[in-house]
Amino acid sequence: MSIVTRERRSWTVREDQLLRNAVEKGMSSTDPGNPTPSKWHAIAKHVPNRTNKDCRKRWFAKMASDVVKGGWAPDEDERLMKGIERYGTRWSLVASIVQSRNSDQCAKRWTDTLNPAIDRTSWAPEADEQLIQAVNQYGKVWTRIVRMYFPGRTGLSAKNRYVSITDL
């Protein structure tokens, strides 16, 4: 069995326009007034050499809204929480509720900051030692390190702790 890998390629201005046109056509014909398209297989037929997943990800990441960069406002956090209550971790749907952020931003904000399951306790000296040893062994692969040694903590908190105790 062979695994087919696809080469990543940038979207062109023409492809973006084809996607925009297909989404407009798809939204008006399926559910007028719904700002979130759902017929991605049909939409992708209008954008040559792009899959339904390509189109969906491009739409929610770059085109569905004016994506804000930088710090999150309290009302964005509220919308994120409502989106998660409604859709769980289906990030493109959550982003459609937040409106000002894309799916990747929503996922990162939840997993690094807002998830109530995050371990926010102080780092013990033994944990600091273990963190340094783990980085020496695995490198700065924060997700792997927290999964193996610090369940409940985030990769971001491990990275920040490492930087603060090693002055790097």
The tens-digit pLDDT sequence of the chain (168 residues) is 566 666 778 889 899 889 888 887 765 444 444 555 668 888 999 999 999 888 888 887 777 666 788 899 999 999 999 999 999 999 988 988 998 888 889 999 999 999 999 999 999 999 999 999 999 999 999 999 999 999 999 999 999 999 999 975
Residue reference for tokens 């692969």: 141
pTM above 0.75, yes or no: no
For residue 53, give the amino acid letter: K
In angstroms, rounded to a whole number, what is the distance separating the alpha carbons of residues 44 and 53?
8
Cα 72–Cα 75–Cα 76 angle in degrees, nearest 5 = 45
DSSP tally for the chain: helices H, then strands E: 9, 0
